[in-house]
Amino acid sequence: MGLIHDMIADCLAAEIECRSKWDEAPGLYFLYLEAARPRLSQVPLPDGVWGPDRPPAVLASMADDLTVIGGLLREVAPEGLHGTAFRCESWMVDGGRPGTERRSEVTAASMAKRLHLHPDRVEIRNMYAVDRAGITYAAVQRRGSSDVERTVLYPGSGKGGFTGTIPSALDQLVTALLGVPLPARTRPAH
């Protein structure tokens, strides 16, 4: 990873680590670079905006209708805007090694939006970001742990990547707000 990419991953991790409560409303953030240092600014949305559906689906709806987000961007100073980020709580199940029956079962449960029913589920606090180069960042903390796992995936790295509603919505927001097309995401091998 490059130094700035490490710093962005650390910035996401710090945002998660500073949270002392669970069962919080999700948050949408703008990611800025100021004097080569990353800074997150939470978009001032009322908590109730997340209520109508699962948070990733609400984020996708926001990305589809940029009227509100575009107006908010003008209020929070677009200079230095580098990307977007999203924080929420969700469920995770360890799928084991690719190609195993366990991985297939967990993947199927995830695709069906049923991880919350899996007996091996673990609650996590996670934060994803996408920058103007299409680099995707993740920070994940399991409930009851102070450790935060950080990941940075570069477009075209051949390692698959983050796919799904959240990264796609963040890609859409970055493209719309910054006017930069991002590379298509590839689905990781299972």
pLDDT score for 190? 43
Query: Which pLDDT tens digit goes with each residue over 22-42?
Result: 999 999 999 999 888 999 999
pTM of the complete model: 0.86
pLDDT score for 117? 82
H helix intervals, the chain: 3-17, 55-64, 67-75, 101-111, 165-178
CA atoms of 168 and 46, how far apart (whole Å):
23
CA atoms of 62 and 129, how far apart (whole Å):
16
In the chain, which stretches have pLDDT less than 70?
Answer: 1, 67-78, 157-161, 186-190
Contact present, 146 and 17 (Cβ < 8 Å): yes
